[in-house]
Amino acid sequence: MSRLGPLDAGFLELEDTDQHVSAGIGVVAILGGKPGERDAFGRELGRRVAVDDRLRQKVRRGPLDISAPVWVPDTDFDLGHHLTWAALPQPRDEQALWQLVATTMERRLDRDHPLWHCTVVEELDGDRWAMILCAHHSMVDGVSGVSLFERLCDPPPGVSGRAPDPPQAETPQAQRRGLLHRATTVPAQAVRAAVAAPRVLARTALGMAPLVWNIVDPRRGSSLNGPIGRQRRYAVARVRLDDIHRVRAEFGGTVNDIALVAVTAALRAMLLARGERPRPDTIRVLTPVSTRSANARGRLDNRVSVMLPLLPVDLADPVDQLRAVRTQLGRLKHGSETGAGQTLIALAGLVPFGPMAWTVRAALRYPQHGIAALATNVPGPTETLRLFGSDVHDLAPFAPIAMRLRLGIAMLSYRDTLCFGITGDYDSTPDTDLIARTIPAAVTTLLDRARR
């Protein structure tokens, strides 16, 4: 058994607090050719899930949430709980695929089984097929999720493709030893927290103060913040990385800076189309920042902090937007907010789980008004992957929405393309396609300015 960390368990609390939330993150792989015969596909997938024990483990919660949830082997593991085949209606185009992605990802994963699912889409136009892979956010973040997908892919030429043997079920004696260990370590954790807290409390409070204020301040709302339903919309935009690099060469900045400018332009267009005035304090986005070291890239858990930048939607000129984004992100990266978030997560690991869980649950019930959207960027593979004998042509990311955020934009690079996966609440965000059209147009405008 292994215990879920505070952030991992927090995503379970996120679902438990709001019945409209599904905390699954995912990737849509578009591949060439055909997926092959179903039985053979299932046998091969069953072999490949042995790449990580977590794919055969389920969550077991402690009584009354006094102790942290733990991952335990699913002794009755059955691939049939995790593999679905689907067909698209004519003309079997990407628009139909994105609708299927939305309806697939809005469904919660079954906690009676390991928290992942694979949907195979047998036929996509242009002699292609697709795979929708979903995992609960308590199991992976963006970086570890991409690493897991790469391990499920075909091995490079010359590398053995044999997966490790399936993990053995934990014995009852080992389970009892684990329970005894946790019972004896809870008091020690409390003592460590009492010793450590005074040393970092002032520094953490100083960094957390602007984070908390930006979340609870009700004066900066927009139509992007509000209650959400159970249904989702999904759209995709693609931008050539070569175009982004040409913009960088002229104006400076990082790939993430320019991606956020494209998001800024899209959100500005959305507000204007809705008849809202884009103000400088209107759109604050939740931007996860990976704290994962290189040697922990394949470990399935969550290792992130957050930034809350204000996007300059009040500015119409994309070059001015880029300058503003670079200035603000630079200030946040060198400020205390990101470090404070990371410290708070570390301190949560020293606090007994029960009080921590009850505090998180209460905080999640508070209706935040200060954050308008999620924007997350994960670097992906640079070389072409193969999966079940097919070339992976495209990868599109999916990010869940929650906490009154009606819009989530996940960015994933693959080969020569940066893909934007846009998740919207079905009822309140019917204009996800406007965002998908505006993002590449914004990069094209920057590229035209760079060529002058």
CA–CA dist 396, 297 (Å, integer) = 20
Domain residue limits, the chain = 2-152, 208-451
CA–CA dist 97, 399 (Å, integer) = 16
- Checking if the pLDDT of 165 tops 50, the result is no
Greatest CA separation for the chain: 72
Please state the pTM of the whole predicted model. 0.87
pLDDT digits 0-9 by tens, 59-95: 999 887 788 999 999 999 999 999 999 999 999 999 9
pLDDT digits 0-9 by tens, 111-121: 999 999 999 99
- Checking if the pLDDT of 107 tops 60, the result is yes
Smallest CA-to-CA distance from 292 within 95, 5, 3 is with 5
Averaged confidence pLDDT in the chain: 88
Same fold yes or no, 2-152 and 208-451 = yes
> Is the domain 2-152 a CATH 3.30.559.10 member?
yes
Q: Amino acid identity of 320?
A: D
Smallest CA-to-CA distance from 423 within 90, 137, 213, 146 is with 137
The reply to whether 137 belongs to the active site is yes
Smallest CA-to-CA distance from 346 within 399, 302, 406 is with 302
What per-residue confidence (pLDDT) applies to 355?
A: 75
Residue 24 pairs in a beta bridge with 136
CATH of domain 208-451: 3.30.559.30
Exposure of 4 by Cβ count < 10 A (0-12 exposed, 13-18 middle, 19+ buried)?
Answer: buried
- The band of 284, judged by pLDDT with boundaries at 50, 70 and 90, is very high
What per-residue confidence (pLDDT) applies to 340?
A: 55
5-19, 199-213, 275-289, 397-411: which has the minimum mean pLDDT?
A: 199-213
- Checking if the pLDDT of 305 tops 50, the result is yes
Spot the catalytic one: 82, 137, 369, 393: 137
